[in-house]
Amino acid sequence: MTNVSSATTTGKVETLRVAESEADMRLDRWFRVHFPEVGYTYLQKLLRSGQVRVNSKRVQANDRLRAGSEIRVPAIIREPKKVNPSGRPAMGVSKGDRDTIEKMILYEDEHVLVLNKPFGLAVQGGTGTKKHIDGMLEGMADRFGGERPRLVHRLDRDTTGVLLVAKTRDAAAKLGRTFQTRSAAKTYWALVKGVPKPPQGKVEAALVKASGPDGDRVRKAKPGEQDVAMHATTHYSVIDRAAHKAAWVSLKPVTGRQHQLRAHMHLIGHPIVGDNKYEGDVHMPAENIEKKLHLHARRLVIPHPKGGKTIDVTAPLPAHMAASWDLLGFDPGRFKAE
């Protein structure tokens, strides 16, 4: 097995030795690498029953491993599952798609999964969209304990960053109510054209879906459209600037409307760089900046659905935004998610 220096088998138990390259790796992460079919819930069951041990001792899923440590693994986990708990054959996804999801994981426990969504990958299916995160997760129900993971909120195809997923129906319901009551704190980072004045402010502009060829956009509601208008509020703050050409801004939406941040920044005259729906891809503020949407869901802070703690997850900048930050002299290390 890759990265495992040795293994022995005795009856129904395997003993695997942790390689040098795996030193300080969390136990749950080690299992995701070597046994991707073992979901977090199943691993917790194995740990509670003592079937998985490290150096003959009971351990927790978040314990760190040392090089040379011996992990006791029941051989039963290598036996393929023919059906999922519903009795239907698992839909399944390719190994490449499984690896894609695994690399996205920023946080995981028995109830919640937080992903770092990449640029250009749709969250849900639609016309002409065959590959999307929702479908990939459905095909990995075996990995997540047999129940289909459920999206709690959405991000646009070209928006990157923190995406919250519930691993159970109960967690999905509780997290959904948390979003509805606006108890989730969401912070986005964006690169916008020009520098907003004042440097801190609030945008309150009701939005409606545009008609005609621009039906996949939203616009500011007009008088008389109260019945179809969606109230939307966004707080913004300038973190840094590149002369008068561009600004790094923190965006905190109070509401969660479609394209809200993109439309609001366009409405105040500072469209998000690379936004091809709201004029952010015209007259780029500097050479060598990619014409990709520069909008990133940087941080999410939300009460855990089971209570007792808070989920607080930060996603690193995607490659195209990190390159732009470097080009413009911005230092993302200065802030966690201001």
Cβ atoms of 72 and 47 closer than 8 Å: no
Phi, psi torsion values for 180, nearest 5 degrees: -65, -35
Adjacent-strand bridge partners of 297: 161, 188
Q: How far apart, in Å, are the Cα atoms of 66 and each of 58, 76, 333, 334?
A: 15, 25, 29, 32
Give the CA-trace dihedral at 336, 307, 152, 268, to 10 degrees: -40
Active site residue 331: no
In the numeric block, which tokens belong to residue 264?
Answer: 């609001």
Tokens found for residue 117: 């969504």
With a CB cutoff of 8 Å and minimum separation 6, the contacts of 282 are none
Active site residue: 109, 156, 158, 275, which one?
156
Distance CA 66, CA 50 (A): 19
Listing DSSP states for 124-155 in one string gives S-BTTB--BHHHHHHTTTTTTTTSPPEESS--
Active site (catalytic) residues: 156
